[in-house]
Structure 1
């Protein structure tokens, strides 16, 4: 393989030369369309629409171009492409914010889960981006494998995190918006690193690194890429550590709640634990026997006596510690068993008594 057939060198020149205006127009149009599709998909909580935005987004090419410029020792071109990518990223965030503002989305509604999911990056996102970068770079070199390109585009998330950041800024969730932008930065750095490795492995490294100037440029670019990813890995490792321990605490608290309830039918709907803020939230559903619907009393009076023997705050402190503030939300549900002869039977004894809630 010669330098002339090293395909990404041509992609770099798309932002240069006599036809750069036409490429800029195409790039701007596709990026705008991708942001519009991604924003609407996130607002509607539609993963299918978000995938469509990933396929339309044109950001993969200039990011792979940065990797190619680093390998070729073209420091100036690599810097210009970085400026282009991050300027495009900033415009994507602004476009997403503007779209939500134009749509006049009520601020009081719940933020869609597809948006929230992109504001909690972890180490697994780095692994995904590394793999997608390898696939994208391989396809660029092996044009015969062009059918793999849509899969690489879907595998790495570039525009959706930027659109999520714009939506979260509209909702006033500045920290979550930062985390969504950080997910984009994770993908950005990982793609460059993995693409550099692919180009070094399959590309003309003997000719590329034959001059001192190119070797210096390559060393500088590779070192900066490693430093950038090192900072990202440090942040992601911390986030992954907290997420792992929060999941363990949530599972432990759910098990302890089931043990605390004993024979009383209690369904744990959701448990959230945040280690940094020392807060927890628990959603429960408590089943009441058939006769409870005829009782005229407060909800606290209907709660089974067993659940009042040990206050819930003691259960939460036992698992999480005394410095946590835990919010408990529970609902009651009338339940009964119906036999073959349509006879109504009470659920397992729940020891309902009157009294105040614990």
Structure 2
């Protein structure tokens, strides 16, 4: 029993699926609306639910397959559906964020504005799985899984957020991530289709003219270079944060650090500490130890707070704000521990 679509059968299936139907548009609008709410409320579960019902994968797969067999009609149909879906998605998400009372950028939104090389690797791996899963005749969870892993919905919603609030960084950063996912899923579909076609009667990837091949290669390079730079920057920043954490934890172990801010643009570390006064000689000794942590270039600034020190009005305000945050954090940690103890006691009863 044949469980996979042949190349010709799969092409006919794509032709049947690639239409701008009202039902598909309504499903897309619902999924975009749900994803926007999830991103706005910082809820991962809601965003995942939206990705499961999203129809965005079909035109991307159709575009890759059309390029692989050089079917211009299928390519045009896929582009038409994809363009319509992207336009509807942007409008719906922008409308939601425009009327939403919550205008702050959640961590879910911020995470979709700086793509890295890892997003490309995810798109490639997801595209390979998608090629295999989409050819199976029986129902499977591969294609929905690819939709979740490659995360096509959140970038579009984030771009809509940027459009709604007029933030160019969010708009173009999210669209860049969406383009990465689309292009590399499409490319894996081209290669996967070529491998799976074998001796098909349909035309092959070799029929792509030289201009189209150059165009695809140029697009890959243009997408990979910024993502690679972003990945290197992200890795260096994370390394720097870990080095600073170790430095502060060890060298200021005898003090209560109530505020710690690293200003990457100025390459400056500002600490607010409570405890015995630190002399300039002691501070200079601490600064000399920065090299052993790999942060010798970081400018260390220490704001000291002790009983004998008189604070100006600006520093007093900043100090009390910092103290309030510190107390709230500690109370929150204690409440969490109490709740955990009560849950354990209830389980024992």
Q: TM-score range by the shorter chain?
A: 0.7 to 0.9
Please give the per-residue CA displacement for 1:117-163, whole angstroms capped at 9, x wherever unaligned: 11121111111111111111111112236232221221111111110
Contact kept, 8 Å, 2:267 with 2:297, in 1: the verdict is no
Q: What TM-score, normalized by structure 2, do the two folds share? A: 0.74
* C-alpha RMSD over aligned residues: 3.5
Contact kept, 8 Å, 2:36 with 2:93, in 1: the verdict is yes
Q: What TM-score, normalized by structure 1, do the two folds share? A: 0.72
| Counterpart in the other structure of 1:191 | 185
| Counterpart in the other structure of 2:283 | 310
Distance 2:272 2:117 in 1: 34
> SS at the partner of 1:266?
strand
Distance 2:81 2:147 in 1: 19
Give the count of matched residue pairs.
301
Contact kept, 8 Å, 1:118 with 1:161, in 2: the verdict is yes
| Counterpart in the other structure of 1:136 | 130
**Structure 1 residue runs of 4+, over 6 Å off?**
267-270, 313-318, 324-330
Q: 1:62 aligns with which of 48, 59, 63?
A: 59
| Counterpart in the other structure of 1:147 | 141
How far off is 1:98 after superposition?
1.0
Tell me if 1:234 matches 2:225: yes
> SS at the partner of 1:164?
helix
Contact kept, 8 Å, 1:123 with 1:240, in 2: the verdict is yes
What are the equivalent positions in structure 2 for 1:157-236 lying under 5 Å apart? 157-204=151-198, 206-209=200-203, 215-217=206-208, 221-236=212-227
Flag structure 2 segments of 5+ consecutive residues without an equivalent. Answer: 304-317, 328-349
> SS at the partner of 1:208?
coil
How far off is 1:282 after superposition?
5.8
Contact kept, 8 Å, 2:38 with 2:46, in 1: the verdict is yes
Flag structure 1 segments of 5+ consecutive residues without an equivalent. Answer: 289-302, 335-358
Tell me if 1:32 matches 2:29: yes
